[in-house]
Amino acid sequence: MARERLFKAVNAAHGVLVRVTRGRLGGRAGGMPVLELITTGRRSGRAHTLRLTSPIREGSTIVLVASRGGDDRDPDWYFNVCANPDVRVRPSGEAWQAMRARPATQEERDRLWPRIVAENRWYRGYERKTERLIPLVMVEPVT
């Protein structure tokens, strides 16, 4: 429970930093671009805004990692996008975009995960901390 409160507090503080500096600070974390994601709560139906890093973009597809810092549970936002895939995304310095999120296929994960952990030590560490398979989420433009 304390860890959950810490995640929420850090996310809120990061949002304030980005807003106050109009994106000049807080647009990157761990060497990766930060984006804002709005999901719809699977139980509440309410909008939830959070900031996540995006280690890879493939064309117009944004790849997100549902790592939850290496916790043994998937993050709430992952369950939200599985239940309600229509999301809104705002990469740092860009406009809000309507997009659709979906879990990566096993083939996509097998192809992308080695790149992600090779380029980012955080995810390598998260993988060592947990026994679960950390999901990847593909966020694609709505066509």
Burial 27-50 (b: 16+ CB within 10 A, else e): beeeebbbbbbbbbeeeeeeeeeb
Share of the chain above pLDDT 70, in %: 78
The verdict on pTM exceeding 0.85 is no
User: How high is the pLDDT of residue 43?
Assistant: 94
Residue 37, SS3?
A: strand
Which residues span the domain enclosing 76?
2-141
CB 79 within 8 A of CB 103: no
CB 100 within 8 A of CB 142: yes
Q: In whole numbers, what is the pLDDT of the chain averaged over residues?
A: 86
Say how many C-beta atoms besides its own lie within 10 A of residue 85's C-beta: 18
Q: What is d(CA 134, CA 37) in angstroms, rounded to the nearest whole number?
A: 19
The residues with which 64 forms a beta bridge, in sequence order, are 137
Question: What is the count of structural domains for the chain?
Answer: 1
CATH code, 32? 2.30.110.10
Q: Hey, which bits of 54-92 come out as E strands?
A: 56-58, 61-65, 86-91
User: How high is the pLDDT of residue 93?
Assistant: 75
The residues with which 87 forms a beta bridge, in sequence order, are 99
Q: What are the pLDDT digits (tens) for 81-96? A: 999 999 999 987 788 9
Q: What are the pLDDT digits (tens) for 40-64? A: 999 999 999 999 998 899 999 999 9
